[in-house]
């Protein structure tokens, strides 16, 4: 079993198209997304987190990269095994 899932999202997607694309790529609904079939919501919000986000700046063309630690709610809900 994988402990993480990396997905690529085309930048032309808007609004709910993101979650539709993510659900399709993941092969199951996103935790908390009732619109696409999730029946549980232990986080009280959509179960999405971007640990790493990168894109080319539209004006300068410079590669922009941002990182964020895993939220405490995620660490508590999905503890690493072993």
**Does some domain include residue 11?**
no
Among 32, 27, 61, smallest CA distance to 45 is for 32
Domain that holds residue 25: 16-77
**Does some domain include residue 82?**
no
For the segment 15-27, what is each residue's pLDDT rounded down to a tens digit? 566 666 666 666 7
**Which spans in the chain are helix H?**
16-26, 72-77
**Does some domain include residue 6?**
no
**Does some domain include residue 34?**
yes
Whole-prediction pTM: 0.57
**Does some domain include residue 9?**
no
Distances from the Cα of 82 to the Cαs of 1, 17, 38, 45, in angstroms?
13, 36, 28, 28
Q: How many domains does the chain have?
A: 1
For the segment 9-67, what is each residue's pLDDT rounded down to a tens digit? 666 666 566 666 666 666 767 777 777 778 888 888 888 788 888 888 999 999 999 99
């Amino acid at each position: 079993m994988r402990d993480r899932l990396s997905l690529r999202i085309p930048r032309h997607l808007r609004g709910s198209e993101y979650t539709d694309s993510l659900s399709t790529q993941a092969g199951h609904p996103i935790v908390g997304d009732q619109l696409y079939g999730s029946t549980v919501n232990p986080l009280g919000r959509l179960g999405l987190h971007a640990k790493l986000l990168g894109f080319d700046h539209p004006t300068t063309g410079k590669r922009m990269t941002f990182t964020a630690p895993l939220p405490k709610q995620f660490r508590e809900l999905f503890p690493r095994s072993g």
